[in-house]
Amino acid sequence: MRLLIINASPRREGNISKMLSQAAAVAKDAGAECDVISLYDKDIRPCRGCMACRTTLACPIRDDMASIAEAIKSADRIVIGTPCYWANMPGILKNMFDRLVYIFIADGKHGIPRPLLKGKRAVVIVTATTPMPFARLFGQTTGTVKSITRILMMGGIKLTTSLQIGGTRKHDITERNLHRVDRLMKRLLK
């Protein structure tokens, strides 16, 4: 099994990075091949909306997106870790998804999008500075998960589960949270 971990946090030693390191360790212990992509370490330029990718099946912009596209296509399972920015994903993650429309969907009959990544499963890990339960009640973490889930679903990727952690501005990730990552990964790797 091939696992891809996408880190959408700008903080190399932050809470998302710690939880994704735990996820990678669990995956490797389970015998999975594991690749990690830190989006903030990549050259990812904005989508220009040219739609060339919809006919050529490749983005004309020359940066690191081609290798990210290949990593997603070759993965069986995907973990996306991201901080919550205004009840949504950070711009770099949204930019990644915008640039990868051609690997997620094709034009189906009558113009209805047809998913291209069926059979893949994913989990989403989200942190927010707003403490729980308010991060959920105010739609902070839930908004982020919903936005990502909609995109994954359009591509045919099934969301196995999500982990939403609030109150991270004043508190680091706890052992309990890391155990939750363990359980989440065991579900994903089944």
Give yes or no for a contact between 156 and 118, defined as CB atoms under 8 angstroms apart.
yes
CB-based burial of residue 108 (10 Å sphere; 0-12 exposed, 13-18 middle, 19+ buried)?
exposed
pLDDT at 170 over 90: no
Strands 77-83 and 2-7: parallel
Cα(57)–Cα(48) distance, rounded to whole angstroms?
15
CATH value at residue 151: 3.40.50.360
Amino acid symbol at 78: I
**101 lies in which domain range?**
2-188
Number of domains, the chain: 1
For position 169, what pLDDT does the model report? 85
Give yes or no for a contact between 102 and 54, defined as CB atoms under 8 angstroms apart.
yes
- Enter the pTM of the model: 0.95
Tell me if residue 50 falls in helix, strand or coil. Answer: coil
For position 189, what pLDDT does the model report? 96
If you ran DSSP here, which 8-state letter would residue 85 be given?
A: B
Closest of 104, 110, 82, 86 to residue 151, by C-alpha = 104
For position 131, what pLDDT does the model report? 87
% of the chain beyond a pLDDT of 70:
100
In this prediction, residue 171 has a pLDDT band, given cuts at 50, 70 and 90, of confident
pLDDT in tens, 26-84: 999 999 999 999 999 999 999 999 999 989 999 999 999 999 999 999 999 999 999 99
Q: Tokens standing for 112?
A: 């209805």
